[in-house]
Amino acid sequence: MEEEKLTAREEKVSPLKLNSVQYVVALLLVVLLAGLWRLQVVSADNYRVLAEQNRVRKVPIMAPRGKIFDREGRLLVDNYASISCYLLREPARDWDADLPMIAQGLHMTVDQIQYVLRRYQFAPKYQPIPLKQDLSPDEVAFIEAHRNELPELETLDEQRRLYPNGGFAAHLIGYVGEISENDLNKEKYAFYQAGDVVGKSGVEATYDAVLRGTDGSRDVVVDSRGREVGQLGQQDPVPGKDLRLSIDLDVQMAAEKALEGKTGAIVAMDPHTGEILAMVSRPTYDPNQFAVRLTKEYWNKILNDPDHPMMNKTIQAQLAPGSTFKIIMSYAGLEEGVAQDMHVNCAGGGTFFGHFFACDKHHGGVDIYHAIPWSCDTFYYTLAERLQIDTIAKYATAVGISQKTGIDLPDEATGTMPSTAWKLKNFHDKWYAGEVISVGIGQGAVQASPIQLARALSGLASGGALKRPHVILDGQISQQYQQAILDTYAGSGEKQVSLKTENWQIITDAMAETLNSGTAAASHLEGVDFAGKTGTAQVMSHAALARSGGGHKTVPNAWFVGMTPRRNPDIVVAVLWENGDWGANAAKLGAQVVNTFVEKQRKKAGNLMKVAEAPKPATPLENAAKKEEPVTN
């Protein structure tokens, strides 16, 4: 019986099955050994690096931006120490449960934090997410007190921009802000990443690569919970390069004061070099609001302001230049040989092409020598009729009207100079001869910016030499970068236009008479060779004005372009006072700026004179010789 059971058991486990099981076990052992060999031998270096990365964290050290000074080295833009909070995504963990605590400690809402997380969801995992900038002391204390519960929070010391108060020179200097998603798609920002702070406007934008610097980092040792327990090394950041602007702080302050409480722009330039000495646009904004995360309330406030505080009116306002355009009309008429012998009887206006065009006064007999200081519309109606639109356009575009000047600031406007070709291209219609009458006094379709008028009229006062405006002093950046600026901000640049000496003298002498007995006589500066031209430009037609019912916004714009001295000037000032009424009002603002410049130059000259007149100190040899001289009675 037992033998039968044993025989049955042997029949159940056949040698073939036993061998198969042995082969399977052996194969599994081979696979396991191969896996161990791959992990511990082949991939040992790779896993060693990964383990090291889990142990070592790279903490960025932000480079401070370069400071900005005026032409004399006086500080305009500085940096201040700030602490920001970042969210670390290595090691990965679920933060949802921590969000309420984080939001409460950082004085944020959970929705705000989730918005930030969504914005950076596609960023590399090694890149920390900026949660909040410029932390308060209690927010820093919250992070330090909760290191164990919230190891994903990290604080970083940063340098943030500190701009002058009150929006001083805001449009010239610009502001910085966190790079946007749209910017990241541009070639200019190919080497930037989300969270970087970049220049957004003004000098900050144009010279961002110079001011930016290079960030550093430090390698810290962390434990399994992400807490810092040591430091391995540090790569120091390279600070950005400081820049000296061409503006003169004293002249800038005078321009800021002159335009305070008004809407418009003032720009002052050195016609010899093209250096901008002052640039003011009103209303302004506070760039310090952009240095940290911009609040929705402040952005909506400036965005909905009808006077457009974000617009740099010195280079972006495109408005009818009014009677300041009469200088260009005079230039065209004289160079064409038409204006020299032209005499007009002004009886309060004139009839042209069947329509009566008014002048503000009955000037009587007018020639070119009186037309500029008296600003007689009738004279320039007649001159425009004789020259016709394409001749006027030729000379206006020659001095830069309807062209960018090439100033090294973003978003310069081009303006408009009408012509037969211009109207055909833009309106698919022919030019009618009667349209030229309004153009003759700087109205109609003519549009210019203050910087264009400043450059054009200073060029004519300099014998036809037009310089390219720029806002930093020469010699501070490499030739390669300088060429990149020229290529980026292309414009009419430097040029010499034809201007006969006798015509140059007629124009500049007549502009000087404007400040003596003409339309800007109230702004005369005693003892100063001050020349210029006023302009009053309507903001709407007489029919539209009648329908509007009046109001401040219907008052004409006031213009003034002035310079000293009258020929080859050292400074030119262009003033736009929106709804400022008569150009004589704008002339008073320009006179304040010019007077500040002149007084400063006189003071410098007086100090140099005192130095030159001071007795030269005796040398040691001369003193010794005096001691050896015999005493005589």
Q: What is the pLDDT of residues 589-598, one digit of tens each?
A: 999 999 999 9
Q: What is the pLDDT of residue 298?
A: 84
Structure-token pair, residue 442: 């700087």
pLDDT of 10 reads 52
**Residue 623, pLDDT score:** 52
- Are 474 and 576 contained in the same domain? yes
What is the per-residue pLDDT for 277?
98
CA distances, 94 to each of 56, 89, 489 (Å): 21, 10, 48
Residue 103 belongs to a domain: yes
Angle between helices 326-335 and 501-516 (to 10 degrees): 150
Please report the pLDDT score of residue 253 as a whole number. 97
Average pLDDT across the chain, whole number: 85
Residue 517: pLDDT over 60: yes
Task: Specify the pLDDT at position 529.
Answer: 95
pLDDT for 1: 52
Nearest to 129 by CA among 90, 183, 80, 175: 90
**Which range has the top average pLDDT, 115-124, 177-186, 428-437?**
428-437
For 601, residues 6+ apart whose C-beta sits below 8 A from its C-beta are 570
CA-to-CA dists, residue 444 to 19, 416, 448, 544, angstroms: 104, 10, 12, 14
Tokens 């110079």 correspond to: 210
Residue 12 confidence class, pLDDT cut points 50, 70, 90: low
Q: What is the pLDDT of residues 45-104, one digit of tens each?
A: 555 554 444 566 666 777 889 999 999 999 999 998 888 888 877 655 667 778 888 888
Q: What is the pLDDT of residue 628?
A: 45
pLDDT at residue 177 in the model: 84
- Are both 349 and 238 inside the same structural domain? no
417 and 521 in a single domain? The answer is yes
Predicted confidence at residue 542, as pLDDT, reads 54
Mean pLDDT within 441-469: 96
Segment 540-549 mean pLDDT? 55
Q: Do 318 and 197 reside in the same domain of the chain?
A: no
pLDDT band at 275 (very low <50, low <70, confident <90, very high): very high
- 355, 467: one domain: yes
What is the DSSP secondary-structure string of 160-182? Answer: EEEPPGGGTTHHHH--EEEPPHH
Q: Evaluate whether residue 617 is within a structural domain.
A: no
pLDDT of 5 above 60:
no
Give the C-alpha separation, 337 to 440, whole Å: 17
What is the pTM (predicted TM-score) of this model? 0.82
Q: Which of 199, 220, 244 is the last residue of a domain?
A: 244
**Residue 445 within a domain:** yes
In a domain, 624, yes or no: no
Cα 97 to Cα 23, 94, 116, 227: the distances in Å are 51, 7, 16, 19
Biggest distance spanned by C-alpha atoms of the chain? 165
Handedness of CA 42, 90, 294, 133 (dihedral sign): negative
CATH label of the domain that carries residue 564: 3.40.710.10
Structure tokens, 352: 């042209």
* 612 belongs to a structural domain: no
* Number of folded domains that form the chain: 2
pLDDT at residue 437 greater than cutoff 80: yes
Among 200, 228, 244, give the residue marking a domain's end: 244
Q: Please check the confidence at residue 620 and state whether its pLDDT lies above 60.
A: no
Examine the pLDDT at 20 and tell me if it is beyond 80: no
- Provide the percentage of residues in the chain whose pLDDT is more than 70: 82
Instruction: Assess whether pLDDT exceeds 80 at residue 267.
Output: yes
pLDDT value at residue 616: 53
| Tokens standing for residue 382 | 């007649």
Is 607 domain-assigned? no
Cross-strand partners of 153:
87
Q: Residue 459: which H helix or E strand, with range?
A: helix 450-461
Residue 18: pLDDT band (50, 70, 90) is low
Residue ranges making up the domain that contains 216: 56-244
DSSP single-letter state for residue 324: G
Q: What does each C-alpha distance from 20 to 25, 29, 32, 201, 301 come to in angstroms?
A: 9, 14, 19, 78, 82
Residue 586's pLDDT band, with cuts at 50, 70 and 90, is very high
pLDDT for residue 196: 77
| Residue 132 banded pLDDT, cuts 50, 70, 90 | confident
**Residues 218 and 341 placed together within one structural domain of the fold:** no
pLDDT of residue 621: 43
In 3D space, the residue among 490, 491, 499 whose CA is nearest the CA of residue 459 turns out to be: 499
Q: Choose between 393 and 144: higher pLDDT.
A: 393
Mean pLDDT of 450-465: 96
Counting DSSP H helices and E strands in the chain, the numbers are 26, 21
Q: Which of residues 561 and 475 earns the better pLDDT score? A: 561
Mean pLDDT of 438-453: 96
Range with lowest mean pLDDT among 230-239, 306-315, 540-549, 552-561: 540-549
Is 280 a member of any domain?
no
Same domain, 232 and 328: no
pLDDT (0 to 100) of residue 151? 79
Asked whether the beta carbons of 83 and 134 are under 8 A apart, the reply is: yes
Taking the CA atoms of residue 89, residue 93, residue 97 and residue 100 in that order, the dihedral angle to the nearest 10 degrees is: -10
Confidence check: pLDDT of 609 > 70: no
- Residues composing the chain: 633
Rounded (10°) CA dihedral 189, 195, 201, 202: -90
How do residues 27-52 score in pLDDT, each as one tens digit? 777 777 766 666 665 555 555 554 44
In a domain, 297, yes or no: no
Question: What whole-number distance in Å separates Cα of residue 352 and Cα of residue 623?
Answer: 84
Same domain flag for 218 and 355: no
Regarding whether 357 and 239 lie in a shared domain, the answer is no
Same domain flag for 399 and 526: yes
Residues 606-631: b if buried by 16+ CB within 10 A, e if exposed: eeeeeeeeeeeeeeeeeeeeeeeeee
**Binning pLDDT at 50, 70 and 90, where does residue 629 land?**
very low
Domain boundary at 244, 270, 295, which? 244
The SS3 of residue 465 is strand
Task: Give yes or no: residues 431 and 542 share one domain.
Answer: yes
Q: Are both 465 and 376 inside the same structural domain?
A: yes
Domain of 90, CATH number, reads 3.90.1310.10
Please state the rounded mean pLDDT for residues 455-472. 95
Q: Region 232-245: what's the mean pLDDT?
A: 85
112 confidence band (pLDDT: 50, 70, 90) = confident
